Amino acid sequence: MRKYFLPIMTACALAAACAGDKPLEDSGPPSGDTRARQIIHSSFNLDSESLAGLLSGLPAANRDAILAEARDFLGLMESLLSGARTSFQDPGSLLFLVDKKHPLPEGWEPGGLARLAEYPLRLSRDNLELRGIVMDDLLAMNQAAQADGVNLLLSSTYRSAAYQKTVYERNVRELGQAAADRESARPRHSQHQLGTVIDFGSISDDFTGTKMERWLDANAADYGFSLSFPEGYEELTGYRHESWHFRYIGRPAARMCGRFFGGIQQIMLEFLRDRGNDFAAAFRGNAAF
């Protein structure tokens, strides 16, 4: 399993790094109580102090990594916010937080599902579906894997709330409540209901260390896929390590996750849920910082 390391830097590193840079934008000379502000990125109404405020609450390693490369972080944030869906509270967003504490709305199901049997993919069964927005990157990833001698097997994808209920109840019967809750989501709490998740291979611990798992671990993020439940983070995610469970979050978000959040999807999604719309306001120039 890939180990995640982040540079540890203090917030003052940003000021030192930017001290010699020519500002991208300047609000002009101080006038009265108004001070000149150095805008970090031309698409955001943010200075370093405002950015640091938006990052409060993040683990120190993630916060310092962002402050050390603030312009690159905001460039990736711009890519997220330039998409068709910019509300991180919208279940249709690729970055909507779904976990044990944050369920999908009652009755919500994704639209635009594509039947995977109609595509050149290796499937465990022919009734698998995913949202259409996933398909271009999935097909590109599948082709790249084949070029490297890896034949990806898609074993579980979209699940309705009703189907997830049967999966969860079966696991409770077979494993007991405590064990089931470590690896099976209750209905409305499963990422699978989003229609953007793939379980690959055997869907078991036997998958770890296989050629397919190693290839996905090294390459899936390049195509917008993120491992949801990494090893050693059960207390954070609520689920034990699942080396086979990948969620499509799009290429910019996957790059952001790997570069600034140590590859830990949960930390990034919680951050975007809490602060993403503040960045959206700054991106549109409507935030009063």
Q: Are residues 132 and 82 in the same domain?
A: no
Same domain, 148 and 238: yes
**What pLDDT sits at residue 11?**
40
What global pTM score does this model have? Answer: 0.86
Residue 91 lies in a domain: no
Angle 273-222-213 (CA atoms, 0-180°, nearest 5)?
Answer: 100
The reply to whether 126 falls in a domain is yes
- The answer to whether 187 touches 170, Cβ cutoff 8 Å, is no
Q: What is the pLDDT of residues 241-287, one digit of tens each?
A: 999 999 999 999 999 999 999 999 999 999 999 999 999 989 877 54
Question: The tokens of 6 are what?
Answer: 């982040």
45 falls within a domain: yes
pLDDT at 91: 93
Q: Tell me, yes or no, whether 65 and 171 share the same domain.
A: no
pLDDT of res. 40: 87
pLDDT score, position 38: 77
Low-confidence ranges of the chain (pLDDT < 50): 1-36, 287-289
Same domain? 139 vs 206: yes
In the block, residue with structure tokens 């570069």: 259
Count of the separate structural domains present in the chain: 2
Residue 62 lies in domain: 12-86+277-283
- Identify whether residues 124 and 80 lie together within a single domain: no
CATH of the domain at 151: 3.30.1380.10
Per-position b or e across 153-179, b if 16+ CB within 10 A of its CB: bbbbbbbbbeebeebbeebbeeeeeee
**Shared domain check, 138 and 48:** no
